[in-house]
Structure 1
């Protein structure tokens, strides 16, 4: 794990916390097993005192700040530059108030950029028109303002997603996907760059790493989008590329996984050459493979498996130490039948042990209080129980919450419960 946590915490964090009603006191843990709730993860000890995880001196406490489709920021495309800047700073202040220490900021949502990139157009989410200059530098501002508040800023990019539609004519006239239509594959109602083309792999690395070169980033981050999630009845049209480049592989699936491995490995090497202190992290879908598919898999059933469906061998990347940290998206409740949060935390702990790769758990704050979700997500304590459970595993070094809007609005108080139970003071990120 490369050195992280270079930023100090500014005075005023306590005031920001007070403004959200968090105060400095902590509550006794009351997870499943406490009192009359029943269950294995908490409850009183023999002396009648509540058990809790020990307070860490360093811990990853992150939130994703999503920009695709204006999910978290900016709230609208018709805001002035000053209004956009104020909203962005508001999210950073909320992170401080919640005693978080890292913001994972989506700066390349759909093959466009939230900085003046020489490779790709300005992002559509800023002005509503892809390629239109917003009149300021969102990434540069985010880095400076985050650091002024003692926060780390990790630049979050999506390597291959080009558009959330299939009409190249809607892209900026100068968009690389329009200049190189042979790079693009329509699939599932979206446009993607073809991961099987070496020239694509080289270009997307150049485009993304321009941000690493230009800015004082603490981290560089991808989420779970490599080859696209499978869509029933559709096939990803890469037969021609496979014919050109797949001759050394036993099947197309192996070739696709090798393409993803090359993207990860090459990017890791380039970051190390550019700026060794920038941490490279990936946040994959939480299931590598099920145990009934692979004896090394997790005790999970059905659903997506990243190895087989997204052609992403996430376990290998940790074992080979290609990345500095991994944030598996464990967006299920404790006890969920198909993918139990408790099972998956234990499985990922086993994967990360002895590798030096940081393991931070991705948490589905967006589900808390959503009436469309199952009963566990209607309990404000569910995520706090997650942190108590995960705290028992030595490789788990923190958590990241999806996403910034919910960190701020906190529909049923789930985030406030996490802060009160687990974040009594600000801490630095792991080094």
Structure 2
């Protein structure tokens, strides 16, 4: 029988439900989806991402003192409250590293400037405590396979798992990645994430759009050895790669359901699964990239199979975009999630909203407010998330303030 989703185990008898709520293993599977989870429909999702890789949002630079880092983090949480948001998605494993005292991976270089150096405090633990104190959910954002934004293993911290297991890695586009085709890699990256998930009261586990890397012209992702060993039963390398990504998602879903059933599992993919000229079930877009064919991520399948609790497609185009129109992407995703019990939140490109943007739509402070208005025509859309925290706080052209004024008249409780 096909796997029917993490929340399927909530559909049993009352005793089974109590066991799950108490943190039991929850091995039973229902025969049909029970509908949205017990945490669904509590409130509109109003989220923001805090990106830590390359100090995109936080810390503002590497090497700040623990007190300075903490103050900046709390300032971003306060910005979320001020904008009447209720969810913060904090990147805690940006590149095979950790923003908590991990038992498996080194401290992130984006804290101190040197990978493996203790920053003198626990950012994830603090973020969970302080977010909850402000009435915010804290979703822990993990990147499964990125190892480094360079290819030199010797630059990684001594004892780094990639240095101990160089055969796990692939160089591609000037960066270093773990090989998704190796079962031992899939197990390890899950274990690395669960080191945080089982120790902190995170409200959600969140992945972004990076599985197999985005294509780089003239580059070859050399997974020949793994394909030779594990790909014999597949019609093509693409099918095998998609199977590898599917397996990671499904295994993570099952493990999370057993270890932390109260935590929700979400993914924020590139918003185009496939264009309709390639697949009649695809979106009416003409984007040059799709997750199915180019990132080997069958995001539509994860929804229809119920392997995730929510999806946040990164619909980072304006209304009227010539090849990927926001007004086409949102209804496609609404149709995709309909009847699945998977909640749909739309990822919004607040980072594009700037008075100096080369695109007229993004110079208009009302563009994002129009997005929210359009999305609310579809009952399947249960909220939005804004990239990223720096712009939520600074709001260069007033687009965030316009969204708040038009659509968030009051604060809402965490979901």
Question: What TM-score, normalized by structure 2, do the two folds share?
Answer: 0.90
2:301 alignment counterpart = 316
What aligned pairs does 1:128-207 form with structure 2 within 5 A after superposition? 128-207=113-192
Match of 1:2 among 20, 24, 37: 37
Distance 1:370 1:227, change over 3 A: farther
Q: Is the 8 A contact 2:49 2:389 kept in 1?
A: yes
Q: Structure 1 stretches (4+) deviating beyond 6 angstroms? A: none
1:13 alignment counterpart = none
Q: Is the 8 A contact 1:3 1:279 kept in 2?
A: no
1:262 pairs with 2:244: no
Taking the aligned partners of 1:78 and 1:339, their CA distance within structure 2 comes to 40
Structure 1 residue 370, shift from structure 2 partner:
5.7
What aligned pairs does 1:31-110 form with structure 2 within 5 A after superposition? 58-110=43-95
Structure 1 residue 429, shift from structure 2 partner:
4.5
2:33 alignment counterpart = none
Taking the aligned partners of 1:219 and 1:325, their CA distance within structure 2 comes to 10
Q: Residues 316-366 of structure 1: CA distance to partner in whole angstroms, max 9, x if unpaired?
A: 000000000000000000010100000000000000000110100000000
Long gaps (5+) in structure 1: 6-55
1:272 pairs with 2:307: no
Structure 1 residue 79, shift from structure 2 partner:
1.1
Taking the aligned partners of 1:325 and 1:196, their CA distance within structure 2 comes to 25
Taking the aligned partners of 1:57 and 1:157, their CA distance within structure 2 comes to 25
Deviates more, 1:138-147 or 1:296-305: 296-305
2:312 alignment counterpart = 327
Structure 1 residue 428, shift from structure 2 partner:
2.9
- Aligned pairs, number: 380
1:410 alignment counterpart = 395
Q: Is the 8 A contact 1:367 1:373 kept in 2?
A: no
1:399 pairs with 2:384: yes
2:109 alignment counterpart = 124
1:423 pairs with 2:408: yes
Taking the aligned partners of 2:68 and 2:384, their CA distance within structure 1 comes to 30
Structure 1 residue 373, shift from structure 2 partner:
3.4
Taking the aligned partners of 1:409 and 1:172, their CA distance within structure 2 comes to 34
Taking the aligned partners of 1:405 and 1:145, their CA distance within structure 2 comes to 18
- Residue aligned with 2:246, SS: helix
1:212 alignment counterpart = 197
Taking the aligned partners of 1:261 and 1:299, their CA distance within structure 2 comes to 24
Q: Is the 8 A contact 2:355 2:364 kept in 1?
A: no
Q: Residues 256-285 of structure 1: CA distance to partner in whole angstroms, max 9, x if unpaired?
A: 000000000000000000011100000000
What aligned pairs does 1:16-27 form with structure 2 within 5 A after superposition? none
Structure 1 residue 4, shift from structure 2 partner:
3.5
| Alpha-carbon RMSD | 1.1
1:294 pairs with 2:279: yes
- Residue aligned with 2:91, SS: strand
Q: Is the 8 A contact 1:156 1:222 kept in 2?
A: yes
2:326 alignment counterpart = 341
Taking the aligned partners of 1:127 and 1:3, their CA distance within structure 2 comes to 40
